[in-house]
Amino acid sequence: MEVNLQGRSLLTLLDYSSAEINYLLELAAKLKEKKHRGFQGDALKGKNIALLFEKTSTRTRVAFVVAARDEGGMPEFLGKNDLQLGDKESIKDTARVLGRLFDGIAYRGFDQKSVELLAEYSGVPVWNALTDQYHPTQVLADLFTIKEEFGHLEGIKFTYIGDGRNNMANSLLIGSAKMGLHFTLIAPEELWPESTILDQARGEAAKSGAKISLSTDLDAVHSTNVIYTDVWVSMGEEDKFAERVELLKPYQVNENLIRKAENDQLIFLHCLPSFHNRETIIGEKIYREYGLEAMEVTDKVFESRFSRVFEQAENRMHTIKAVMVASIGDLNAV
Ligand code: CP
Ligand code: NVA
């Protein structure tokens, strides 16, 4: 059956079939090639796109802006302090206003319920640009980067190490299960994914042939193709540094972990931003308080030949462009 995503929101990858995800990855590859050949397009010509961000962002924000502009769309950034949202106006009312003026809305915020409400009440496609529960546009870029590197997704051994309960872990688990990657989580049991997410992922894995395993043992990294980590403390939970440093210190991605994998061809991925040195205010604070030069990944690994983090960051733009073009764009203009 031919895939058609016109008019569809992207709130979580759970709502997308593996064929639909594949279609987005293929469209992203086409758009990436077009951009690298130096062509601007008009697949989003005349489309007004709202970028409603209640949390800070570098990559996601600029990816939406550049992707929209590259195809003739008109993005408008609306930060937390630019709107009445929350203080004077509800999500439902804001959704109904934005939906009358914009053709699509990207939303970054806290609860998944907010992005669901926006989609329900705006009447236009809404794209989840990160919530506490999910970060689906990031995982599209991650899958795209893995496919670029290895030529396929099925059967790839994927290891996520660190905070196994955050938006990235949830979305990578679902994305891997849907696309047939063998997903291993290495984390302390306190930070293993919630059972509802695990059950959903296991259901998807049964269809795709993916395997899912959870471990507290670093040796589970053996022979992996991909090592992925994320920050130990996500946006909105900044009071948790002390407990996370304590829990996750043994789960840092460092040279020892890379050696344990015994696979010279593996790649290291991270959604970014990353605390891999002391060149940030928080990085320096962590050093002073806990004596750590880096948190989730050492500078050596981050800067190593295994690292594909900046390819991954660029791919945010190509995959987000595919999501917008597929849902509100003119596919004949691609
Ligand atoms: N990876 C990611 O979402 O980065 P930003 O928070 O900078 O958008
Ligand atoms: N888990 C991180 C992802 C940032 C892209 C956070 O939510 O802060």
User: Is residue 3 over pLDDT 90?
Assistant: yes
Query: Residue 86: pLDDT above 90?
Result: no
**228 Cβ contact list (under 8 Å, min separation 6):** 142, 158, 159, 160, 161, 168, 172, 268, 269, 270
Express each pLDDT in 204-259 by its tens digit: 999 999 999 999 999 999 999 999 999 999 999 999 999 999 999 999 999 999 99
Amino acid at 274: S
Q: Is the CB of 20 under 6 A from ligand 2?
A: no
pLDDT at 84: 83
Location of structure tokens 């939406």: 64
Structural tokens at position 107: 């939303």
Domains and CATH numbers, the chain: 13-134+316-333 (3.40.50.1370), 157-224+226-262+267-305 (3.40.50.1370)
> What proportion of the chain, given as a percentage, has pLDDT over 90?
96
Task: Read off the pLDDT of each residue in 24-44 and give the average, rounded to a whole number.
Answer: 95
Q: Is 24 in the pocket of ligand 2 (CB under 6 A)?
A: no
Q: Kindly report, residue by residue over 271-300, the tens digit of the pLDDT.
A: 999 999 999 999 999 999 999 999 999 999
- Provide the pLDDT confidence category of residue 172 given band limits of 50, 70 and 90: very high
| pLDDT (average), residues 51-69 | 98
The verdict on the CB of residue 170 being under 6 Å from ligand 2 is no
Q: Does the pLDDT of residue 1 top 80, yes or no?
A: no
Q: Which of 167, 269, 316 to mutate to test the pocket of ligand 2 (most atoms within 8 A of CB)?
A: 167
Pocket of ligand 2, candidates 112, 133, 166, 316: which has the most ligand atoms within 8 Å of its Cβ, to mutate? 166
Model's pTM, two decimal places?
A: 0.98
Q: What is the mean pLDDT of residues 6-25?
A: 98
Sort 217 into a burial class: Cβ within 10 Å, 0-12 / 13-18 / 19+.
Answer: exposed
